[in-house]
Structures are given as structure tokens and as C-alpha cells.
Amino acid sequence: MAETGLKRQDAIAPDGGEMIRPVVVKLGGSVVRSPYLQDWLNAVATAARPIVVVPGGGALADEVRDCQTSLGFDDLAAHRMALLAMDQLAWAVAGLRPDFEVGDSEQALLQSLGQNRIAVWAPFAHIGKRSDIAPSWAITSDSLALWLAGQLGAECCYMIKQVPRTGSAVSAAMLAADGVVDEAFPEMLGGTAVPAYLLGPEDRAVFGAALARSATCGTRIAA
């Protein structure tokens, strides 16, 4: 497995005051294009605690993979192009609701949260040129969402996927083996103290109810 090189840092409030502890919500690329997207966004919008949304690259990132295969450019170019795909879907998601705001740095995200807005992460400017992040398809938006959760000192990180889930707990290694999360995710989860949960299409109503009362839900992902 490629080394992630990513280390957890303490989150810092934008005004130097009390630290904001958000919930990070990773929306899988297939979720963004599903008929359930508005249900998920409605749940996020009514949350009782601050939320940072991380959209995956979806079909745009898939196109990057296909282009790399046909054109033969290197992994660094593909990595940066995939981050730009995430940026584009961040703007798409934020454009659906007036209370969602794109942020391209920790400071910008925390400022949005401090203004009672839903922050949506556009990662390219934040991490596109970091030498400690391996330019590899082993690290995709799944691991990056978990990394961001660690950086922000998040309460938890939800992985919302367009696949059904079962049981109260599942290992990150099993999810990676099944292709539900990326290859680097188990290592990333092991290096962060942020609890992670898996949600599927059937969890939309439960998710909204949990966020409204500051509770957690879904299948706990074990390192």
C-alpha cells in the first residue's frame, strides 16, 4: 500500500477562540448523481451541529482514470486532476443550496462554520501541491475526507455510499477489499482518532434524525 504521509493536526478556530468540532460528511460520487442527493443535503442542512461536506470526484474522477489510461500521463497529473474533479463537484453541490459555501482551506471551512453555514471542501488549493500526499489512486476522496476530519478535530466522519450496508460494525480492511472505500482508508483510519460510520441509501431519514439531535448512526467502521 502507498504511504499516505498524512498526519493529524489539532484543529484551530478561525478567531483563535474555542475550537469548532464539526461532523465531516463524505458524499460518494455515485450519491451526488443519485436521485437521493437532495434527501442527503436536506438532512445536512437541518443538522444541529456544524457540518463539512466532502463530495467525491464521481464521474469526473472516473474520466481522469480513463484519460490517464489512454493518454499515459503520470500519477501526479492524475492526482491533481482528480482533486480538481472534487473541486467541481464541491461547486455543484454548493450551488444547489444557498446555505452551502465552498472552502478551499481549513481556515475558510472554519470561517463558514462560524457563520452557521454548511462548508463544502474544495481540496485542490489546500492539498494539490503537498509533497507528503502520495499521488496515487490508492488515496482518493475517501481517505482525504477522513484526513480532513482529523485535521479539523471532527467529532466523526460519515461515509455515504450508494451501496446497502449491514450490521453495526465492519472493518475498514473489508470495505477496502470490497472496493467500497479506497486502498489507503484502513491505514488512514488507524492513524486518526475520528470515529467513522458507513451509511447507505436506506439511511437517509435516520441520518437526518440523528444529525438533528446530535447523535450518530450507521455502521461503525473499525480500524
Q: Of 186, 193, 157, 162, nearest to 52 (Cα)?
A: 157
| Confidence (pLDDT) at 17 | 53
Domain assignment of residue 217, yes or no: yes
pLDDT in tens, 136-153: 999 999 999 999 999 999
Cβ atoms of 31 and 161 closer than 8 Å: yes
**Which CATH number goes with the domain that contains 135?**
3.40.1160.10
pLDDT, the chain, mean: 90
Look up the domain containing 55 and give its range. Answer: 23-222
**Alpha helices (H) in 11-139, listed in sequence order:** 29-32, 37-45, 58-71, 75-94, 106-114, 124-127
C-alpha cell at 26: 463524505
Q: What is the pLDDT of residues 58-108, one digit of tens each?
A: 889 989 999 999 999 999 999 999 999 999 999 999 999 999 999 999 999
pTM: 0.90
Residues contacting residue 54 through CB under 8 Å, at least 6 positions apart = 24, 25, 26, 27, 86, 120, 121, 123, 141, 144, 145, 148
Q: Which residues pair with 159 in a beta bridge?
A: 26, 198
Q: Is 213 in contact with 51 (CB distance < 8 Å)?
A: no
Give buried/exposed letters for 4-22 (b at 16+ CB in 10 A, else e).
bebebeebbbbeeeeebeb
Number of domains in the chain: 1
Angle between helices 37-45 and 204-212 (to 10 degrees): 10
Q: What pLDDT is stored for residue 7 in this prediction?
A: 41
Q: What percent of the chain has pLDDT over 70?
A: 91
pLDDT at 194 over 50: yes
